[in-house]
Chains A and B, each alone.
Chain A
Amino acid sequence: MEPLWIGVSAAIAIALPALATAWAQSKIGPAVAASMAEKPELSTIAVLMIAIPETMVILGFVVSVLILLQGGG
């Protein structure tokens, strides 16, 4: 495959999950802040809730790296 398309594929593999993660965190963040204002004891759950969507971008990163490696980049 053309090196250009390998690069573009790798970029898409991380860009889309990154956008999805950002969108999910933008929804979770305010909700978590509001919950913590009322119940500070929820802080642990709050941190977890924010960290959960990061799985998407992390897996996107892994896939992106694999695309680059498999593509000979």
Chain B
Amino acid sequence: MITKMSRLRILGPRDRLTEVLRAVQDLGVLHLAEPFARAPLEPAVLTPRLERQRHQLSRVLRDIESTLELLRPGPRLLATPSARPSIGDFARWARMAQRTRRTAEQLDLRQTELVEERALLRKYQHFFTAFRSMLDAAARWPNTTAYHILLKTREGEALTTLRSSLTGVVGEEFELYTQPLSPSETAVLILVPAKIAPKVEHLMADAGVEEIPVPRLYGTSLTSAIPRMLERLEEIPRDLATVGQHQSALVRSVVPELLRARDAIRDRLAELDAVVLAGVSPRAFALEGWLPTTARESFAKTLDARFGGEIAVSEAAREEWSAEEAPVVLRNPRLLRPFEALIRLFPLPQYGSIDPTPFVAVFFPAFFGVILGDVGYGLVLGVMALILRSRAKPESTLRSIAEIAGACALFTVAAGLLYGEYFGDLGRRFGLEPLAFDREEALVPFLMLAIALGSVHVVLGLILGVVAARGHPRKAIGRGISAMMVLLILAALLAVIGVLPRGFFHPTVIGILVAFPVLVVVEGLIAPIELLSTVGNILSYARIMALGIASVMLAVVANRMVGAMGSVAVGVLFALLFHLVNFAIGLFSPTIHALRLHYVEFFGKFYSPGGVRYEPFRHWTSPMQDRRA
């Protein structure tokens, strides 16, 4: 349900505005309203000094956040609450943030350079190691020029061609060494006397053979560079460790203070932002905001105790504000609360409208279960949900997902028992019989079940629409007639196919003929189209049957693989793989389609999106602190 909210108005002398704002921030329950501007009050503006302060604090906050991002202190380091900071504290934090950011950036840059250098050296390590053994040969030949080439093995013929071409140009005055690097690459070293080197270079240029470039950082020739590069490979881990030590020292020495500074600056910026929400006259201020009605008494009492008779807290009459302005707080029983996560995926409902969480909590897992409907898959999903729940933090979205999955698993097992399915038709081989019907055979009953679920869901949506439109009688009557007509159409159809006694047919048709003109009068000419669209919405629930059939057929095919592969072991392996794929599809597809049935077919009948999120003016806390609180 949507929590009842009260709009409070705080009046007081202007010189106490800052203190009152701080007290409100300490209490942390008041969602401040838009700027209060009612004659003779006008919206407050920040003085040039405060405007400057806000600008400077925003810059310092950016510095701190960049530094924290670079240092990545981890979730264990949390800001310790401190007393309200002075101007001196802010100035000290500004200097510290600037200095630390510079140091952190330098350390980060150095770390990046080292990591990149190591990656480059590792990439070529095997290559240089191969050449290193050949360089001993080069050392035995004084006054020679060395050429280092990398040949692809598929160019094996190129090696023969190279050798014969060299023989053609320089005769026997060269040495050629090869070293396999990998199945596809070969390192080649060519040594020639320095005096005939130009001829060889000319030959290589003509043949399009390129020499391996030597990284300049390590020397001018491969002979001098390779030892240096191998040396660097040993040095880099030590350099990285040194950089890491400096970073750790920085984290230990400044991060706790930076976290304190970040929280205090955020608080101060929120306070400055709140100032402009007040309405002021030369001597007075007024501030308005919402809070849950249950917190109203304690809020007023605390402020009264703190400021005595200096300020007045009163509640604005309901006629003074509209539902669109009020923030929305969803509060449901513990069992239903995880499903609020599915509502939050959608824009929040408007204040005063209907919170669909209880309905989603029933129908979402029910639709999921009816589609997947398999005891085996349900049990696997249940185990996964339990594992996920044990690992998720309380009140986190992950915990909500685990709990929703748990509910879906329960419904899947229940529907599986109705269909007699345990990993498809595997259960039948062990005597598991359907309690209701066999989905493999009874396609029409399954379709009827899907349409029946759709009818209940859509009609419920229409009834909720009547409730939601209680302030607009014409709209409410229109929706009521629509709901009634849908029921009459369904009754007529059921009478035709013999589910209801034939005697129902004529009264229902007469009812439809009477209701239709009334609907057109109340809702206008658009009503017939909307009615058709509602009938279309009910037919859309046929997807429950279609997806369910697909799920069971895939499971049956998976089981048949055991006997179809020739080898039992291979068959079992394929069957397991197929079941895994089917299970993955079985998690994804019912979720998407159950959500769609809710968001499009069900919510479309009554839901009023556009609710304002309740964001009370309070001290800033990190998400981690929030979860621990």
Contact = CB atoms under 8 A, between A and B. Distances in A.
Contact of B549 (A51, A55, A65): A65
A69 interface: yes
Interface stretch (B200-208, B305-313, B464-472, B536-544): B536-544
Given A51-B592, A51-B593, A65-B443, A59 B539 contact: yes
A58 B600 contact: no
A58 B543 CA distance: 6
Contacts of A55: 540, 543
Interface in B569-590: none
B542 A62 contact: yes
A62 B449 CA distance: 13
A52 B546 contact: no
B443 A58 contact: no
A55 B592 CA distance: 12
Interface string A45-56: 001100110110
Contacts of A61: 546, 549
B537 to A, nearest CB: 10
Interface residues of B, number: 19
Interface centre among B346, B542, B549 (most CB of A within 10 A): B542
A39 to B, nearest CB: 13
B447 to A, nearest CB: 6
A4 to B, nearest CB: 22
Interface string A26-68: 0000000000000000011001100110110011011001000
A61 B545 CA distance: 10
Nearest to B542: A62
B545 A47 contact: no
Given A44-B346, A65-B443, A58 B542 contact: yes
Nearest to B540: A55
B217 interface: no
B593 A44 contact: no
Interface in B334-361: 345-346
Given A44-B345, A55-B543, A62-B546, A69 B444 contact: yes
Interface of A: 43-44, 47-48, 51-52, 54-55, 58-59, 61-62, 65, 69
Given A58-B543, A58-B547, 14 more contacts: A43-B345, A44-B345, A44-B595, A48-B596, A51-B593, A51-B595, A51-B596, A52-B600, A58-B542, A58-B546, A61-B546, A62-B546, A65-B443, A69-B443
23 contacts: A44-B345, A44-B595, A44-B599, A47-B592, A47-B596, A48-B595, A48-B600, A51-B593, A51-B595, A51-B596, A52-B596, A52-B600, A55-B540, A55-B543, A58-B540, A58-B542, A61-B549, A62-B542, A62-B545, A65-B443, A65-B447, A65-B549, A69-B443
Interface of B: 345-346, 443-444, 447, 539-540, 542-543, 545-547, 549, 592-593, 595-596, 599-600
Q: Which 4 A-B pairs have the closest CB atoms?
A: A44-B345, A58-B543, A58-B546, A51-B596
